[in-house]
């Protein structure tokens, strides 16, 4: 392990936790969505740092590239969603604070009551090349069939969208 890895891990963890807190406490849904981008990026960075480079890249492609964009479109296309008011906004705080305290107490007992063993982790090997070779050798036929299915779905979606425009 290089000496900078703990620093990078701490930074990515802080980014992820801060972004998650901003998601939870932001009053604006667009700000919350952009905080979700930071959380996804932090989680992807942690995955890459811990040796799961393929999962980290897929996290960025699927969640940032697809889910987050879909979420932003849904927020921006829904008019007046920010005008919704709770009938009693303090009721959620009255429930959340004791639940959070109980959770913290239980987690503290679990963490400090467990005997932890330090184990040397094996050196992480890149997985992307191995997954690519496996997909294009052993699973070539299912891989190609799925790509044809996705292409057909894309063509169908474009055809359906064009019909509605006319």
Domain locations along the chain:
1-82, 127-166
**Do 32 and 26 meet the contact criterion of CB atoms below 8 Å apart?**
yes
- Crossing angle of helices 29-49 and 68-77, in 10° steps, is 180
Q: Cα separations (Å) of 2 from 6, 8, 141, 145?
A: 8, 10, 41, 43
**Above 90 in pLDDT, residue 42?**
yes
Q: How far is CA 54 from the centre of its chain?
A: 14
Q: Given pLDDT bands bounded at 50, 70 and 90, which one contains residue 93?
A: confident
The domain 1-82 is placed in CATH, from the list 3.40.50.720, 3.30.365.10, 1.10.3110.10, 1.20.120.1200, at: 1.20.120.1200
Query: What whole-number distance in Å separates Cα of residue 119 and Cα of residue 114?
Result: 15
What pLDDT score does 51 carry?
86
Q: Given pLDDT bands bounded at 50, 70 and 90, which one contains residue 11?
A: very high
Could you tell me which residue, 159 or 102, shows the higher pLDDT?
A: 102
pTM: 0.66
What is the four-CA torsion angle of 26, 28, 33, 37, rounded to 10 degrees? Answer: -50
């Amino acid at each position: 392990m290089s000496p900078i890895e703990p620093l990078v891990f701490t930074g990515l963890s802080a980014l992820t936790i801060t972004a998650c807190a901003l998601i939870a406490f932001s009053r604006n849904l667009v700000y919350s969505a952009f905080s979700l981008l930071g959380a996804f990026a932090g989680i992807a960075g942690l995955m890459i740092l811990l040796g799961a480079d393929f999962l980290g890249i897929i996290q960025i492609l699927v969640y940032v590239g697809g889910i987050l964009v879909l979420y932003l479109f849904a927020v921006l296309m829904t008019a007046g969603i920010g005008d919704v008011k709770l009938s009693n906004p303090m009721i959620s705080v009255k429930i959340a604070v004791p639940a959070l305290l109980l959770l913290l107490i239980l987690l503290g007992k679990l963490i400090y009551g467990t005997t932890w063993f330090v184990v040397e982790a094996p050196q992480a090997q890149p997985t992307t090349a191995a997954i690519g070779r496996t997909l294009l050798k052993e699973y070539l036929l299912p891989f190609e069939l799925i790509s044809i299915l996705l292409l057909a779905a894309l063509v169908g979606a474009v055809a359906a969208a064009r019909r509605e425009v006319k």
